[in-house]
A and B are shown apart, each in its own frame.
Chain A
């Protein structure tokens, strides 16, 4: 059976199999570390074993004398190569503190893994062996791994800043400040909760890899990198190294997953380029997994204080949020902005009039944090969805019922939130009802009544999360208001070649999302051609010079829409040629199935193929019309896109061992119209399991000395197939009114919905034992401890 059999009449919305797959399935695809680069030098970094220390001395002599070593440098010796510090593109406040951060430290280290020296050798093993010969003396300083300890400035990490506080950012809403206090004072019910978003390791299966290759003449440099952001990387490499931007080319070969961790500008990328220029040879670096755990950004890392006020009926009247954010040792590309991406979402899917959000962020002596799948929005959704369950518990009503009382109703869309943002479309009740049906919500509640009796060894729980997320980053003016240093547009070129084959050039940069397949479907639908006749070019700044890359579930609602608009422009131009050649008025022509015809006289027609060739020969074009058939578009979206949905998780917990078993997981997601449901489902599957992994398994564990205790895949619990359930998916379809395809992003939705749904289920299962909270990850140990604490509390 092929799934293409049930393809509907149009290509858009069909389950077209991915064109990317054969190369990936047969081993033909080349990732960065697969590139064959004869004569390349291999870079290896000497990394600090201490979380916080002064560098006393570095002796490179033994390393330099080792076989195969070409050069070795300290940070001080490399200082002249940097035109500017490592970039942070999101100075969220005017007075944000940002320590100067260079690829290699010179005087102090601020986390385990901070680089202090580098070695270049003729082979990777020689380079890594030589690293062991570098003698570095450190003067150890105390580590800072607790966020409140960091805020106290007991130990200041960056001497020049005088404080560990990077910034305080408030979402100011006029008139809300006093009103909030009144709402809490007048509330019939309030909840005040503290949640901890543990640090996570992104763990894309492909570690990072970099190769910088000087071109044989002209002084140009090609940087191959396992990155999500070739265009941002090109600009930032040019600025940081003082290279004329037009002499930098960035290429992403196949990229093995990113999840935000490859949305950055890393020391190793800058080092490879700088050293390739210096030595006039290719320089490459392949990250090892243990190195990845330290040197690639971490995700999450927040303490959330969350308060809700509600009236006697449970209608939520106010939300107050205080965030303490863990920046890690330095600010990477968008580190400080991550909490802001969630700042607008702590009211969730609810019609709440009053809102108060403030975030304070601090430096710690741990790996920098930055974007990780969902970036700020999973954190926000977790807090509001856990707090709503806490409120339901306090009021003694079913959490599903409490949500229904508070949902923004379908007829309220487009809905202007108190934060000023406009939610494009939604139907939360429909999504929740579909999920409840698929999960047999009422049936599970009935089973609970019989199963969760005193003394029961296994307790049943069901938990829900209804989410809204803002993605499709982003309207450039909104980004400006948030102090982000770049825009949020995307570029597209659609080029009809003389033989009616189509080239699409996109600024998006896929790393598993199947853009080649999906973009070809958009073009096929627009131009009436087969997807097989559409080639999609991407991820090479020489081929696709303009773009803002792939993150924030932006590729379809921004990049895909740009392609659709470019197709419209191609059709407009083709229409002029058709009108000219058919001697008809443009207004009398219609375009369908790849052919222009005169309305009412279909025999007077001209297919796009003929027009493409006419545009190429230019023998008979309308006066003033340029030859060739292509259009370029740069599209700045008018709004974010707002996917939403309800996830329901059913668990059974062994109260003696604390083991959580997920019995069923239902995800109902609404991302508007779907270009390819096969790919949408894949995004939801992967996203849900990543969120479920935060809820049940994953945590970057640091000891008090600042050592990461689980820096390998043997110790950090990325779930295996046997650890996770199969998933039941449902979809409602509420098209976005803000773009012509009616689409919304779907890359992060699964992760956003999953963690709160799972933890709500865990707490629900244990509520009869007096448990009101369980920290993430809800490991057997943490669950067992929560049960013991509740029971000890009850017995006092």
Chain B
């Protein structure tokens, strides 16, 4: 099926199988491998990206459902080589270790702050409950998001 999507500002016209998941489209067709796959039950959130500005687990959506949308992946978050404030906050606060959950976590966190610019610690924890991390114990992830919200 033919779809047209804008990904990180570039328009792509593609012919995809109806069963292709958005995450596979982004990774395998567009070669944007920063979006990771960590499970097969939509539990881990590693594949989170933005569809029309909202965080979506890209394994929960078919590529054909994304027809006509504007998508941002982790590769599209930095502007002119300057990391997004959330990416910078993760670096400053050691909010990542192996990095595998990180793109999804950063995409979910930016979306969270868009909805709630000044969350409490508990709101950050609840807001990120769809994204699993096995390395950090979440302590520094939460710290990173709070620091970003505080403009630090």
**Interface residues in chain A, defined as those with a beta carbon under 8 Å from any beta carbon in chain B:** 1-3, 17-18, 20-31, 33-34, 36, 203-207, 254-257, 259, 288-290, 511-514, 678-679, 681-682, 685-690, 712-714, 718, 720-724, 726-727, 750
Q: Are B96 and A24 closer than 8 Å at their CB atoms?
A: yes
The minimal Cβ–Cβ distance linking A69 to chain B, given in whole angstroms, is 17
Q: Show 19 A/B contacts (Cβ-Cβ < 8 Å), sorted by A.
A: A1-B152, A2-B92, A21-B96, A21-B99, A25-B83, A26-B34, A26-B83, A34-B27, A34-B33, A289-B40, A682-B135, A712-B39, A720-B129, A720-B130, A720-B131, A720-B138, A721-B128, A722-B129, A724-B138
A88–B74 Cα distance when bound, in Å, is 41
Q: Are B32 and A27 closer than 8 Å at their CB atoms?
A: yes
User: Which residue on chain B has the smallest CB distance to residue A688?
Assistant: B137
A-B contact number at CB 8 A: 183
Q: Are B91 and A25 closer than 8 Å at their CB atoms?
A: yes
B84-127 at interface with A (beta carbon < 8 Å): 87, 90-94, 96-103, 106, 121-122, 124-126
Point out the residues of chain B lying under 8 angstroms from A25, CB to CB.
74, 83, 87, 90-91, 96, 99, 102-103, 106
A17–B89 Cα distance when bound, in Å, is 11
Q: Are A511 and B137 closer than 8 Å at their CB atoms?
A: no
Pick the contact of A22: B83, B136, B137 (CB < 8 A): B83
Point out the residues of chain B lying under 8 angstroms from A689, CB to CB.
137-139
The minimal Cβ–Cβ distance linking B97 to chain A, given in whole angstroms, is 4
Point out the residues of chain B lying under 8 angstroms from A20, CB to CB.
99
A512–B78 Cα distance when bound, in Å, is 22
Q: How many residues of B contact A (CB 8 A)?
A: 58
Q: 18 other contacts beyond A713-B41, A726-B142, with CB at 8 A cut-off? A: A22-B83, A27-B33, A34-B33, A205-B133, A206-B38, A206-B98, A254-B98, A256-B99, A289-B40, A289-B41, A290-B41, A712-B39, A714-B41, A718-B134, A720-B128, A720-B138, A723-B129, A750-B137
Q: Are A3 and B38 closer than 8 Å at their CB atoms?
A: no
Tell yes or no: B132 within 8 A of A by CB. yes
Tell yes or no: B48 within 8 A of A by CB. no
User: Which residue on chain B has the smallest CB distance to residue A257?
Assistant: B98
Tell yes or no: B56 within 8 A of A by CB. no
User: Which residue on chain B has the smallest CB distance to residue A692?
Assistant: B137
Point out the residues of chain B lying under 8 angstroms from A17, CB to CB.
91-92, 94
Pick the contact of B91: A21, A206, A688 (CB < 8 A): A21
The minimal Cβ–Cβ distance linking A459 to chain B, given in whole angstroms, is 23
Contact with A along B4-18 (1 / 0, CB 8 A): 000000000000000
User: Which residue on chain A has the smallest CB distance to residue B76?
Assistant: A27
Q: Are A686 and B137 closer than 8 Å at their CB atoms?
A: yes
Point out the residues of chain A lying under 8 angstroms from B98, CB to CB.
24, 204-206, 254-257, 511-512
Pick the contact of A714: B43, B96, B100, B106 (CB < 8 A): B43
A740–B19 Cα distance when bound, in Å, is 58
Q: Are A27 and B103 closer than 8 Å at their CB atoms?
A: yes
The minimal Cβ–Cβ distance linking A23 to chain B, given in whole angstroms, is 8
Point out the residues of chain A lying under 8 angstroms from B69, CB to CB.
none
Pick the contact of B99: A29, A289, A687, A712 (CB < 8 A): A29
Q: Which of B98, B124, B128, B152 has its CB near the most chain A CB atoms (within 10 A)?
A: B98
Point out the residues of chain A lying under 8 angstroms from B138, CB to CB.
685, 689, 720-721, 724
Sorted nearest first, the 4 A-B pairs with minimum C-beta distance are A27-B34, A24-B99, A256-B100, A512-B98
Q: Are A690 and B134 closer than 8 Å at their CB atoms?
A: yes
Tell yes or no: B22 within 8 A of A by CB. no
User: Which residue on chain B has the smallest CB distance to residue A202?
Assistant: B134
User: Which residue on chain B has the smallest CB distance to residue A713?
Assistant: B43
The minimal Cβ–Cβ distance linking A390 to chain B, given in whole angstroms, is 28
User: Which residue on chain A has the smallest CB distance to residue B97?
Assistant: A512
Point out the residues of chain B lying under 8 angstroms from A259, CB to CB.
134
A27–B46 Cα distance when bound, in Å, is 12
Tell yes or no: B58 within 8 A of A by CB. no
The minimal Cβ–Cβ distance linking A130 to chain B, given in whole angstroms, is 16
Q: Are B136 and A685 closer than 8 Å at their CB atoms?
A: yes
Q: Are B40 and A27 closer than 8 Å at their CB atoms?
A: no
Given known pairs A25-B96, A722-B129, the reply for A205 and B46 (CB within 8 Å) is: yes
Q: Which of A17, A36, A254, A686 has its CB near the most chain B CB atoms (within 10 A)?
A: A686
Q: Are B100 and A205 closer than 8 Å at their CB atoms?
A: yes
A688–B134 Cα distance when bound, in Å, is 11
User: Which residue on chain B has the smallest CB distance to residue A714?
Assistant: B41
Q: Are A512 and B39 closer than 8 Å at their CB atoms?
A: no
Point out the residues of chain A lying under 8 angstroms from B39, CB to CB.
289, 712-714
The minimal Cβ–Cβ distance linking B17 to chain A, given in whole angstroms, is 8
A36–B29 Cα distance when bound, in Å, is 11
Point out the residues of chain A lying under 8 angstroms from B31, CB to CB.
36
A256–B122 Cα distance when bound, in Å, is 27
User: Which residue on chain B has the smallest CB distance to residue A689?
Assistant: B137
Q: Which of B27, B35, B43, B97 has its CB near the most chain A CB atoms (within 10 A)?
A: B97
A235–B106 Cα distance when bound, in Å, is 39
The minimal Cβ–Cβ distance linking B121 to chain A, given in whole angstroms, is 7
The minimal Cβ–Cβ distance linking B27 to chain A, given in whole angstroms, is 8
Pick the contact of B142: A23, A30, A512, A721 (CB < 8 A): A721
Tell yes or no: B44 within 8 A of A by CB. yes
Point out the residues of chain B lying under 8 angstroms from A512, CB to CB.
97-99, 135
Q: Which of B73, B129, B138 has its CB near the most chain A CB atoms (within 10 A)?
A: B138
User: Which residue on chain A has the smallest CB distance to residue B105?
Assistant: A721
Point out the residues of chain A lying under 8 angstroms from B38, CB to CB.
205-207, 289, 713
Given known pairs A514-B97, A720-B128, the reply for A27 and B92 (CB within 8 Å) is: no
A383–B53 Cα distance when bound, in Å, is 50
Tell yes or no: B148 within 8 A of A by CB. no
User: Which residue on chain A has the smallest CB distance to residue B122?
Assistant: A722
A690–B138 Cα distance when bound, in Å, is 11
A720–B38 Cα distance when bound, in Å, is 14
Q: Are A21 and B136 closer than 8 Å at their CB atoms?
A: no
The minimal Cβ–Cβ distance linking A461 to chain B, given in whole angstroms, is 21
The minimal Cβ–Cβ distance linking A318 to chain B, given in whole angstroms, is 37
Point out the residues of chain B lying under 8 angstroms from A288, CB to CB.
40
Point out the residues of chain A lying under 8 angstroms from B128, CB to CB.
720-722
Q: Which of A682, A721, A727 has its CB near the most chain B CB atoms (within 10 A)?
A: A721
Q: Are B96 and A690 closer than 8 Å at their CB atoms?
A: no
Pick the contact of B73: A27, A31, A511 (CB < 8 A): A27
Point out the residues of chain A lying under 8 angstroms from B27, CB to CB.
34
Point out the residues of chain A lying under 8 angstroms from B152, CB to CB.
1
A289–B40 Cα distance when bound, in Å, is 6
Given known pairs A207-B38, A289-B38, A289-B41, the reply for A721 and B134 (CB within 8 Å) is: no
Q: Are A712 and B40 closer than 8 Å at their CB atoms?
A: yes
The minimal Cβ–Cβ distance linking A285 to chain B, given in whole angstroms, is 14
User: Which residue on chain B has the smallest CB distance to residue A203?
Assistant: B134
User: Which residue on chain A has the smallest CB distance to residue B132?
Assistant: A718
Given known pairs A24-B96, A722-B126, the reply for A31 and B77 (CB within 8 Å) is: no
A713–B39 Cα distance when bound, in Å, is 7
User: Which residue on chain A has the smallest CB distance to residue B45?
Assistant: A720
User: Which residue on chain A has the smallest CB distance to residue B93?
Assistant: A3
Point out the residues of chain A lying under 8 angstroms from B34, CB to CB.
26-29
Q: Are A26 and B101 closer than 8 Å at their CB atoms?
A: no
Point out the residues of chain A lying under 8 angstroms from B93, CB to CB.
3
Q: Are A254 and B99 closer than 8 Å at their CB atoms?
A: yes
Given known pairs A682-B136, A685-B139, the reply for A26 and B77 (CB within 8 Å) is: yes
The minimal Cβ–Cβ distance linking A689 to chain B, given in whole angstroms, is 3
The minimal Cβ–Cβ distance linking A378 to chain B, given in whole angstroms, is 15
Point out the residues of chain B lying under 8 angstroms from A3, CB to CB.
92-93
Pick the contact of A712: B41, B121, B140 (CB < 8 A): B41
Q: Are B73 and A686 closer than 8 Å at their CB atoms?
A: no
Given known pairs A17-B92, A721-B142, the reply for A257 and B75 (CB within 8 Å) is: no
